[in-house]
Amino acid sequence: MSTPISSIRNLGPAYEQACARAGITTAEEIRDLGPDETYARLLKSGTRPHFIGYYVLVMGLQGRPWNDCKGREKDALRKRFDAIKASSHDKGRSDLEIALDMIGVIEKRS
């Protein structure tokens, strides 16, 4: 079965496009990967890190509105987001280097 990513609450066409760039094409894949791995793959594929984009995903997978995240829960998600960003986002690389890497022109730096 193949369900569109946009079937997950809060996720629309732009999120589907970002997921497609990361090789994720179905809602089932996102559910199997979970929010942290899904978001890490988005960052590795060139999506710019943005906390709201992360917690929208978390809330959507829980079937909750995106703006339902508050207080301690939001603080805890911020810590998870910061950890994902620290381990998955290309630090020290220009946008051009990231784009060239995405199309396979240069090797990714470790």
How confident is the model at residue 58, as a pLDDT? 97
Burial pattern 85-110, b for ≥16 Cβ within 10 A else e, equals beebbeeeeeeeebeebeeeeeeeee
Domains of the chain: 5-102 (1.10.150.20)
How confident is the model at residue 61, as a pLDDT? 97
Select the more confidently predicted residue: 94 or 33.
33
Predicted confidence band of residue 86 (pLDDT cuts 50, 70, 90): confident
